[in-house]
Structure 1
Amino acid sequence: GLLLLFFVLLLLTWRQSRMRRNHLEQMQHIIDTDRYTGLYNRSWFKYEASKYLKEHEAQGRFAIVEIGISRRDILVETYGQDVIVELLRRMEATLQKTEWAKLPAVHTSTGRVFFLLRMDAFDSRTQLTTALAHLMHLNEYISIGHLVVHIAFHIGICPLTPGLSVADAMNHANLALHEANPICFYNAEMQQKAEFQSRIESLQQGALSRKEFDVWYQPKYDLATRKCIGAEALVRWRSRELGFLMPGQFIPRFESNGFITQLDFYMLTHVMETMKERRTTGLPIVPVSVNQSRLHMQEKNYLAYMQRLKTYYGAENIELELTETAFDFGTPKMRQHALHVMHELHEMGFRLSIDDFGSGYSDLTILNAIPLDVMKIDRSLLIASRGAKRMQAVLARMIDLGHALGMTVICEGIEEHEQEEMLRSYGCDHGQGYLYGKPMPEAEFSSFLEQHI
């Protein structure tokens, strides 16, 4: 009886131990796999890559590679999450058959694929990038119902060096991914840039409260009379910690983290306040354009705030500049809301301008959908038209199109008299550029205006 009891207890202990082990294995499987695809995930890759490198450290050079699906959010909104799942499964299956790719893993939420790359399999970086380009080519089209959709990828690569952990290399590969067009190798400058951008983000709110952002003005001219007929408000940052910063150093970060909406309101309020003061004191006034981010188009209280500004300061001579990307939304509902916002702003009395027109794939339907007052032609068209008859014809027809739709047409980036003469001959109304004046501080522009109006 004691022997039987012993064996029963032993059996129960073994069964409990096995159940516990199975439970732990199931939990580990959940931790190690991507919930959408069932494939290995990022955390599994980090652990397994570290283990693999320790076991094969004498067998050559390796790199961490991160592949990203371009415009993932748009694909999801348009075609659904299943498209991303299918793409990642296909990419992982391709990598499993590739000799120089080890331990492929995925992260569906960000549309990423990770793997360990054997760099010794290639004689040069050129050969490596060719192989990666072929990898993207194998997966660049996907069938969705009756549609065949083209998919673009971008790739970040971080070669592993002594002392560099897999976790750090993955972070570096991610930095390279954001710089990729379509393939990029990590370098130390990217880390410095990332640290600088992080520093900017930590200082942005304090800078706004201390009013470190200055409003500068660049004059706009009538091409026929060569008189100043307006200006564009531009931002400069006099940072207490970082010194004097140009927009290109901080605006992209503000757009990515959403702070640009606060800066836009700061700029617009300052300009409207200045215009009201000039009206009160009898100083000369010209229309001033102020940039508005596409993020405002989906901001909940944007119209209410703009109405308050208009009521207090007045919307006279205020022009709101938006780029075509302000209407580049993934769903018809979001696009329709953006168009509604534009109509409401126009009803309030704000003039509307489409900035950088012609710089990308222009959607001409927005010219019909939005009550635009001004078409601002991008400087890239002016540069491309130098000595190019076909581009000159495009530029001339674009100006005609603006006039046919009842818009004032302005071209930016004018630096030479020959450009001015060409635009004047095509009937362009206004110009902006270094030929007439560079951006200048508010006090300097006030003096400038009295002499050139």
Structure 2
Amino acid sequence: MINKTEYQETEDWAVELQENLLKGQAGSLVLHTDSGKDILLDYRPLSVDGWFLATLIPKDILSSEVDRFISRTFAITVLLVALFLTLLIAIIGMQNRYRGRIEKMSFHDPVTGGASNVYLQFQAQELIRKAPQARYVVVSLNLRNFSLINEFEGRQQGDRLLRDVYATLRTEADGEEELVARGEADTFYLFLQGAEQPQVVERLERMAGKLANLSGTIGPLRASMGIYYVQPGKMAQPEEMDFAAAEACADAARKSAEKSYHNTCTESIKNRQRDMTTMLYQLEGALERRELEMYLQPKVCAENGAVAGAEALVRWKHPEKGFISPATFIPLCEENGLICQVDLLIFEQVCRCLSRWREAGVELVPVSVNVSRQHFRDPEFLSEYKRILETWKVPPEWIELEITESIMFSGSEFQYVRDFIQTLHKIGFTCSLDDFGSGYSSLSLLKDLPIDCLKLDRQFIISRFEEQSTRTVIEMIMDLARKLGIMTVAEGVELEEQVSFLREAGCDLIQGFYFSRPLPVEEFERYAFGRSLGAGGEAI
């Protein structure tokens, strides 16, 4: 092969080739032939001693193969890049579409078709940031009697009314930098220009008049409002921006409006709002530490004055402030989703107490426990109640579950209430209707409602007892309940005159300060059984 080329075996490449062959090393070189065509020689040793694999490839063929390889590689690379760019564009498009949907869900209210409160907060903070010295007010507006319209005329009519309210407010708040949005349920928020209170109030009065014209069969639509004046320069910096806090102040002002339909957020309201926030935090800790206590208020037989039952009530003794009124912390629990924990805590304490009385051998008296609206809407809580009954081995017939009249206010939900009470009966509970007469329930509903006990609203006794019409209504209720086989209880009784009248009217049980205030368990045991019972049932 070497002889057929223009090279001699003494040349460097030939010497290198011979040395590599002797050493058993692989290599390659280019040979120039007489014809002028170069040949690529590749050689590498085989596993057989002294044998090599030599490959001769014309260089022009090799070059064309390399060119084709490079062309194919380039084409594939271009295709992959195009595919990648297509996928990237598709992903960006999907992200933009999803971003648009998320923004629409966040910034759009599905009921009114207008702006959501999230959008209002975002835009209001932008307006304040751009014009920190401008004067604005935040208004919280709630429709007082909307729940009646929603319940009696139906959800569709209620939604239509909400759309009409939004359209009316949007028409009235027509400034370039004014915003309107629906918050939760029937609450609306307005971000308005203006600083002088008389002008702001006059404007809100005009809005309230327009809303009153959006009447239904229930009557004119009533609105209550809370006003918060944004101080110039406040919330101008990002670290100071907390528009939700401004809305909370307006909410607090609205809820503090008693007789008037509007109220302005003052320092005292702000302080009360802060106190409520602090109290909520402390209340959560008190629930975790089980600091809330059960008190029992006796129910006394109207005929002979004997203790015939008790109502379990919750009390909170604050480590610094002492006893906190239930009228203060119970609404706080209801507004912040803690009331179900309170229900379970008191129910378990009732079961533990009844179990202890059984061990002591005393004659048991039934104890009534309130069922919150949240629990009523979620009957699954009954499985937890049954578990607690089994733990303390308490017969359910010694526990009376109280539901308030307000939960059966809607005639459309009457069947649900009836089914719920029947479920309680199947478990073994008795059921009472609390605060009867506080709403607009028809006496005729009682014949179809399978309750065991009717508790007269305390307002009949406390504020209207002197009226002859009130006494006549009480007598009618007692007479109807007796004919239907329903036991009756009167709450809030404080005077001997009231006791005498209720006894003559046929009331079965009386509950109130005339006989006893709510008592700690040990004091109730002394009152009802003549002795206090220890943890194991022993007399103390």
Name the TM-score class by shorter chain.
0.7 to 0.9
Question: Against the structure 1 CA distance between its residues 82 and 248, is the aligned structure 2 distance closer, same or farther, given a 3 Å change threshold?
Answer: same
Structure 2 residue aligned with 1:319: 400
From 286, 290, 303, the equivalent of 1:211 is 290
From 65, 72, 81, the equivalent of 2:139 is 65
Question: Against the structure 1 CA distance between its residues 412 and 286, is the aligned structure 2 distance closer, same or farther, given a 3 Å change threshold?
Answer: same
Distance 1:148 1:327 in 2: 17
TM norm structure 2? 0.67
Larger Rg: 2
- Contact 1:48/1:103 (<8 A) preserved: no
- Contact 1:327/1:339 (<8 A) preserved: no
What is the SS of the residue equivalent to 2:396?
coil
Structure 2 residue aligned with 1:157: 227
Structure 2 residue aligned with 1:13: none
Distance 1:89 1:82 in 2: 11
Distance 1:199 1:366 in 2: 43
Deviation of 1:412 (Å) = 0.7
Distance 1:175 1:384 in 2: 28
Structure 1 residue aligned with 2:163: 85
Structure 1 residue aligned with 2:182: 107
- Bigger drift between 276-285 and 109-118 goes to 109-118
Distance 2:319 2:279 in 1: 12
Gaps of 5+ in 2: 1-95, 236-240, 532-540
- Contact 2:168/2:211 (<8 A) preserved: no
Deviation of 1:38 (Å) = 5.8
Gaps of 5+ in 1: 1-22
Question: Against the structure 1 CA distance between its residues 289 and 71, is the aligned structure 2 distance closer, same or farther, given a 3 Å change threshold?
Answer: same
- Contact 1:72/1:84 (<8 A) preserved: no
The amino acid of 1:115's aligned partner reads: F
What is the SS of the residue equivalent to 1:122?
helix
Distance 1:31 1:284 in 2: 60
Provide Cα deviations, 1:197-251, integer angstroms capped at 9, x if missing partner: 3334334444234221111111111222122222111111134465432312211
Distance 1:448 1:134 in 2: 56
Structure 1 residue aligned with 2:3: none
- Bigger drift between 41-50 and 309-318 goes to 41-50
Question: Against the structure 1 CA distance between its residues 364 and 397, is the aligned structure 2 distance closer, same or farther, given a 3 Å change threshold?
Answer: closer
Structure 1 residue aligned with 2:369: 290
Deviation of 1:136 (Å) = 3.1
What is the SS of the residue equivalent to 2:473?
helix
Distance 1:235 1:43 in 2: 37
Structure 2 residue aligned with 1:17: none
**Matched residue pairs, number?**
418
The amino acid of 1:323's aligned partner reads: T
Structure 1 residue aligned with 2:299: 220
Deviation of 1:346 (Å) = 1.4
- Contact 1:382/1:395 (<8 A) preserved: no
- Contact 2:317/2:324 (<8 A) preserved: yes
- Contact 1:399/1:409 (<8 A) preserved: yes
Structure 2 residue aligned with 1:173: 250
From 90, 96, 108, the equivalent of 1:34 is 108
From 423, 426, 431, the equivalent of 2:502 is 423
What is the SS of the residue equivalent to 1:313?
coil
Whether 1:231 and 2:332 are equivalent positions in the alignment is: no
What is the SS of the residue equivalent to 1:231?
strand
- Contact 2:396/2:428 (<8 A) preserved: yes
Deviation of 1:339 (Å) = 2.8
- Contact 2:137/2:230 (<8 A) preserved: yes
From 232, 250, 266, the equivalent of 2:345 is 266
The amino acid of 1:65's aligned partner reads: V
TM norm structure 1? 0.79
- Bigger drift between 69-78 and 174-183 goes to 69-78
Whether 1:256 and 2:256 are equivalent positions in the alignment is: no
Distance 1:450 1:388 in 2: 37
Distance 2:378 2:115 in 1: 37
Question: Against the structure 1 CA distance between its residues 56 and 214, is the aligned structure 2 distance closer, same or farther, given a 3 Å change threshold?
Answer: closer
- Contact 2:300/2:515 (<8 A) preserved: yes
Question: Against the structure 1 CA distance between its residues 32 and 394, is the aligned structure 2 distance closer, same or farther, given a 3 Å change threshold?
Answer: closer
Distance 2:129 2:493 in 1: 59
Q: CA RMSD in A?
A: 3.7
Distance 1:153 1:348 in 2: 43
Give 1:334-353 correspondences, 5 Å limit: 336-353=415-432
The amino acid of 1:114's aligned partner reads: L
